[in-house]
Structure 1
């Protein structure tokens, strides 16, 4: 038996923009189906919202997303709830998305693209547990951890 896990992100009118952005960062193919594609009349609000969407890349990246029904306009994003205080990460978020690569160069390239319009929580750089680590909340309100696998973590 084979099992795959993918984060499934819930948006309010921003799923298409988020998926297109993540595809521009991580590469791969984007699949998007709208409520209209599944039979909702085009004149109804939300018919162009995403009912099923995903980005799948050859490098192993995969994320899914959709627009929660009943919301035809993006919900205003507040300030990120994740922050650094006294050397610790404090958050009210139920999850972060983690991206781990093998080299600093490959992860730095992802960081630079993902950081466009983001709030940096912890700058990308060396960490005690990894050659490189960084944390940010992207323009869609999703908090990401990017790091490079340490030698001991690869075994």
Structure 2
């Protein structure tokens, strides 16, 4: 079993451009899933925006990013990042979630999502937003 933490950057329409830039700097591979790809379009104008994206390089560099939907508030200084905890074991992620959730505000319950067997988001009592999920290979 293993887990990793990854900086998860939040943008308003610039995530794809930012990921391309980070890829040009650090190399590695880029994966991008749009709201349309995930069947999660709430605003047709945002269908091609990034719902989930990452750059991961063999040298250990890893960053994730997404475009905050228009219906959610966004202040670059207030919600500039999440801490993403990814693991390959659902029991381990569930246990971490239970402990981290104490005193936290759950944004999205830890449950199955289209892209992961388990995915959840919460903001802890210190104001840090955490995303926990079970990592699965992306074949897009």
TM-score (ref. length: structure 2): 0.48
Q: Which has the higher strand share?
A: 2
Q: Find the structure with the greater CA-based Rg.
A: 1
Q: Which has the higher contact order (CA 8 A, sep 6+)?
A: 2
